Chain A
Amino acid sequence: MTRSQETNSSKPQSRQRWIGLLAKAELAELESTWENLPHKPSFEFLRQPETGLVMIQGRAGGSGHAFNMGEMTVTRCSIKLNDGFIGHGYVSGRDKRHAEFAALFDALMQNESISEQLEQGLLTGIESRIFLHKRDVATKTASTKVDFFTLTRGEDNC
């Protein structure tokens, strides 16, 4: 095991988190962050962006058996920066540019000299946008809530 693998495995949650956020990002968010980078690193494709199907597994309850729920379209891409960092991007849908940017930013996030800047400039923004969106949906849904109650009907009181 190399030193880097230890570094990465010591904080798997954070990488899992940012890969997830990058997958949920809007293309425009990623594009503008990339445009505003002071030093755009050069990179090569390890795997060109490609679209395929991924089987989604479901589980009925915590004790249920896993079953195949259906397939979903996923586009993936892998790149290597010239400084050796490797990034993978997996996004839903068929947007190849999105997958490419997701892979690029995954690689950049592993570089500690730039990760803080990206955290502030990109990830926090995506996270709060997702949070606000979820809250909006929840608020709208909550306004349709119906409380059921039963009035005493009286006929039993005779």
Chain B
Amino acid sequence: MLAVEPDLKPGFVEPVREAQETFRAVLHAMAHPGCIMDAGTMLSGPEPLQQATLAIGLSLFDFDTPVWLDGTAASPTVESYFRFHTGCARTALPNCALFGIISDPAVMPLLQAFDCGTDEAPDQSTTLIIEVPGLYQNTGGIQLVGPGIKEKLSILIDGLPNGFWGERAEMNGMFPRGIDIIFTAAHRLLALPRTTKVEC
């Protein structure tokens, strides 16, 4: 019909409580890499984005976090959704983004294309939100070691391109620079901060 915004969808029903719940889930996931968390909210957001991606976006994006969207995620509906609810700007350049949303990891750019921060300000790097078909714990796949993990943790992440773990391993040497990643599948999320080492 005659709506100005292209099919704008509602955001959080209780913004404060829900944003805090999602923030808490992300915080816990970042502190315990490989631990699968529930984003803790139900949103009827724009296609094709998943529940957890939307919840993270509404909780963390704001007017000074440029967001990069991949080809699948980039639609006027998604863009206006985040702009309306968070005030964030979209950027076309992956290396200028503070957040990146990757809806189709099979054709994602190299990790090195994103901003790794600087030695003086490593916190200014891109945080990637990668949507994957499935996340599994304790089922082979890859081994995680590093801060926040007792000994080792094995996880399986579906749908990543072939060279992905190689690209990520190369970035381990750049510490403190690097890229933090949050994987999302439906309403669940799993974080892989730059400090975590992956053994294939």
Contact = CB atoms under 8 A, between A and B. Distances in A.
B2 A85 contact: yes
Interface in A42-91: 44-48, 50, 78, 80, 83-86
B5 A44 contact: no
Contacts of B9: 46
Contacts of B121: none
A8 interface: yes
B11 interface: yes
Interface residues of A, number: 20
B3 A46 contact: no
Contact of A86 (B8, B11, B15): B8
Contacts of A8: 4
B14 interface: yes
Interface majority SS (helix, strand, loop, mixed), chain B: loop
A110 B10 contact: no
A5 B10 contact: no
Contacts of B11: 46-47
A7 B8 contact: no
Interface in A2-19: 2-5, 7-8
B159 interface: no
B8 to A, nearest CB: 6
Nearest to A80: B8
Given A48-B15, A50-B15, A80 B10 contact: yes
Nearest to B3: A84
B6 interface: yes
Interface in A81-124: 83-86, 110-111
B83 interface: no
A46 B1 contact: no
A83 B1 CA distance: 7
A85 B1 contact: yes
B90 interface: no
Contacts of A7: 2
B84 interface: yes
B187 interface: no
Contacts of A45: 10, 13
B69 to A, nearest CB: 20
B85 interface: yes
A4 B4 contact: yes
10 contacts: A4-B1, A8-B4, A45-B13, A47-B84, A48-B14, A80-B10, A83-B1, A84-B3, A85-B2, A86-B5
Interface of B: 1-6, 8-15, 84-85
Closest 10 pairs (CB-CB, A-B): A84-B1, A4-B2, A84-B3, A86-B3, A46-B10, A83-B1, A46-B8, A44-B10, A5-B4, A86-B5
